[in-house]
Structure 1
Amino acid sequence: MALIEKQRLLAELSPPLDRLLCTQLLDEFVSAERRFIQRDWEPSQLDGGQFAEVAGRIVYCVDSGNVSLSKGFDDCAKYVENDTNTHKIIPRHDALHVIRVLRTVYKFRSQRGAVHISPTYTPNHMDSKLVIELVRWVMNEMLRLFWRGDREVAAKAIRELLQFDVPAVGVFEDKILVQRTDLTADEEILIILHYGGEHGFSRSKIGQAAQLSPPSVTKSLQKLSAPDCRQVIQLSNGNYRLTDLGSRRIRENLASKLLL
């Protein structure tokens, strides 16, 4: 499975969550992630506010036992925060932590300006970085609290949600393809293995996705897994995946090359 798939998340979260709200939550999460990766700073604050609205409704629905597809964020938050109400999420602090973080995310939608402090680094950039990290934390908490399937799969989903989306990798029916043509062989392999997540890919699958010759795949894998590099490791099933060093190289050096 390439990273964590949206349909798998939906299947594991609904039930117990309302399917429409859960679908909206995943859509808003993916949208916020994609905009941030593409350095589209300003809209990410709006996306964060929309994510907060949906997440607030989900917490309210679970905590109150009443499904509402339109209840306002503030009303949802106030219900959860009111100690006199009957609450189904136990322990209480789990729901309260989520609501407090969501309040911060939601306020950014209307209370932050767009005054630039330099040509290259703006408050919008800093705000967006904060918002996306808060959104990621809430999404992880949703999985931790409401996932009803295999707990190890949930843990894997949480780990993989910390990784970037990969717009440069396309999926066409049963075919996976690195769509950029300006990458070195090492970069193509790192990007396809980043997309491969914890399961990774076989040597032949890597060559097909990156459209590299067998000798090029072999040479790059040997280089990337060598003792002086250690960015790729071969698993016991024969597949290759990124190490933490490989993931760091993606974040620090190749993030821009994940885009189309």
Structure 2
Amino acid sequence: MTLLASNVFSALPEGLRADLVGAFNEIVRNYREHRWEPAELNGGKLCEAVFTVVDGYAKGQYAPRSSKPGNFPDACRALERSSQVPRSVRIQIPRMLIALYEIRNNRGVGHAGGDVNPNQMDATVVLYMSKWLMAELVRVLHTLTTDEADKLLEGLIEREVPMVWSDGSSRRVLAPGLTRKQQVLLLLLLEPGESSEDDLMRWLEASSRSAFRRDVLRPLHKDRFVEFDSERKAVRLLPPGVAAAERIIP
């Protein structure tokens, strides 16, 4: 689990924190790999973890690990009686959990002979409901705005790029034949926030800052693949850059 995840959910017990972030990242990873059925199945794990968090929040004491109540919908509805907590905790999150759990149980996921086969549409619903739930937990636990919580949530998403080797501080693109622009996109895909220009130059063994800016960073910035702040020497991957990087990965 990342240091950022530990900081974001520092109020939670370590085991519960691991259950929550682990289930969320499984959903994101399976969706990226087009593994629709596992992406939906893990929605159930996330429901249990999120329920355990909001239930603990309402009671003032968190359980050490996530668990499933005997009757999940009824347990979620019971949270509506917790009048001393924010409306999001007692109404909005529990009702979203019921809907997500319904997809897990009654859309052909987890049961042989289900009447609807798992597909991309259902998995997409699971993905974005999961992102909303996680962002809402971040917002409630840290009293942030929705936009602030959403940006922080992106940092919790673990990206696995098999073409890039990392030991934590160093990075190397292992695939031969890629341009420096392509290598920069792959390197940035691993970073949840900004990367420094100096790190990118070190990882790519670029010796000339002026040439690196002219041939790599400024063209990527012009194409809206990255946001490059030359004064701060900071580079951030933009959504078109994410799509371009993911097209590079076999």
TM-score of the pair, normalised by structure 2: 0.78
Give the match for residue 257 of structure 1. Answer: 248
Change (3 A) 1:152 1:132: closer
Give the match for residue 119 of structure 1. Answer: none
Give the match for residue 118 of structure 1. Answer: none
1:255 match: secondary structure: helix
Shift of residue 28, structure 1, vs aligned partner? 0.9
Q: Report 1 or 2 for greater relative contact order, CA contacts < 8 Å, sequence distance ≥ 6.
A: 1
**Structure 1 residue runs without a partner (length 5+):** 115-121
Alignment of 1:40-79 (within 5 A): 40-68=35-63, 69=65, 71-73=67-69, 75=71, 78-79=74-75
Is 1:234 aligned to residue 228 of structure 2? Answer: yes
Contact in 1 for aligned 2:220/2:226 (Cα 8 Å):
yes
Change (3 A) 1:96 1:257: farther
TM-score of the pair, normalised by structure 1: 0.75
**Structure 2 residue runs without a partner (length 5+):** 110-116
Output the CA distance in 1 between the equivalents of 2:55 and 2:147. Answer: 27
Percent identical pairs in the alignment equals: 20
Shift of residue 206, structure 1, vs aligned partner? 1.4
1:234 match: secondary structure: strand
User: Which of 33, 39, 47 is matched with 1:38 structurally?
Assistant: 33
Output the CA distance in 2 between the equivalents of 1:36 and 1:7. Answer: 24
Give the match for residue 106 of structure 1. Answer: 101
Change (3 A) 1:51 1:230: closer
Give the match for residue 10 of structure 2. Answer: 14
Change (3 A) 1:23 1:164: closer
Alignment of 1:147-166 (within 5 A): 147=142, 156-160=151-155, 165-166=159-160
CA RMSD of aligned residues (A): 3.3
Deviations 1:25-62 (A, max 9, x none): 01111111111112222111111111111111111111
Amino acid at match of 2:159: D
